[in-house]
Homo-oligomer: A and B are copies of this chain.
Amino acid sequence: MREVVFLIQAADRKGLLAEISSFFYNSGFNILQCRQFSDIRAGRYFMRIGLELNGGITRRKLEDSFAEFAAKLDLEYSIHYSESKQNVAILVSKTSHCLYDLLMHADEGDLDCNIPLIISNHPDLEYVADRFNIPFFCCPMKEGKKAEQEAKVLDLLKSHRIDLVILARYMQILSDDFIAHYPQQVINIHHAFLPAFQGGNPYERAWERGVKMIGATAHYATADLDEGPIIEQDVERISHMDMPEDLKHIGKDIERRVLSRAVRFHLEHRVIVSGRRTIVFS
C-alpha cells in the first residue's frame, strides 16, 4: 500500500482537528492514522496524519491543494511518501557497535532506508562496510584542516543525495556551517543520559560520581554540542561492582538500542521538532 504522511504544526486554536481531517476526508482520502497534540504551554498544535495514497490523485495535485488549504490556516508542514526511500549516510570513527547495529537492522528490514555510503575519519571500520557491501569513504581529519575535511564529507553527502546523517559514535564536533546544511537531519548518539555528563568521558565521570544507572541519548545535532532536541533516551541499572570498563560495555547496548530507535522514529516521520523539544508520535 502506498502511503503519505503529513507532519503539521501551527499556532493552537479551536477547530484544527476538524478542519484538517475534513479536508482530507472531503478530498476522498482514507486516514490510516492520525496523532495530534496541543502543547498548552507553547500554544502550539502538532499533527501526524497518514493517508492511503490511492490512484486517483497525483502528488502534484495533492501538494497544490494542500498548500492552498495550509496557507489559509497558517500551517507549517512537510509531506513524506512511503514509496520514496530515504538515503542515509552513517559517519563513524573507530568503534563499531552502533554501526553494526544499524546495518543489521537495515539488513533485516527494520529500518526502511538506503545506506549508500559510510564515512569515517579513520580507516579502521572499512571491513564492516565491506561485509555489508556498502561503499566506505575515509576522510581523515588533519590538524588545522577541519574545513577541508568537512567540505569533502559534504561533497559526498550531496553527491549521494543524503536525506539523513547518522553520527554513530563519530568522534568529531561538526561545525555550525556543516550542521546548517542538514537542519534536523543529523542524529547524534551521546553516551550519557543528557543533560548529565555532557562532553567527554561520560562513563568515567559516571563511575566517579557513583550513579546507580547509566544511559544514552539520541538527539538532533545543533550548533550547541549535546544541546540539540532529544529524540530518545534509555538507561540501565549498574552496581558498585561495575568499573568504568564495565560501564562502557553495558553502555554499548544502551547506545545501540537508543540510536536505532531514534533513527527508526525519524525514518518513519514520527518526530516533529519544537524549539529544544521533540514531539515523537511513537
- Which A residues lie at the B interface, using CB under 8 A? 14-15, 17-19, 21-22, 24-26, 30-34, 36-41, 96-97, 100-101, 104, 107-108, 110, 131-132, 193-197, 208-213, 215, 229-235, 239-241, 243-244, 249, 252-253, 257, 276-280, 282
Contact = CB atoms under 8 A, between A and B. Distances in A.
Contact of A276 (B24, B209, B257): B209
20 contacts: A15-B25, A18-B18, A18-B22, A37-B240, A39-B240, A40-B243, A96-B107, A100-B104, A110-B249, A193-B196, A194-B196, A195-B196, A195-B211, A209-B230, A209-B276, A212-B231, A212-B233, A239-B282, A240-B277, A240-B278
A14 B37 contact: no
Contact of A101 (B104, B196, B249): B104
B241 A37 contact: yes
A62 B10 CA distance: 29
Contact of A233 (B17, B21, B213): B213
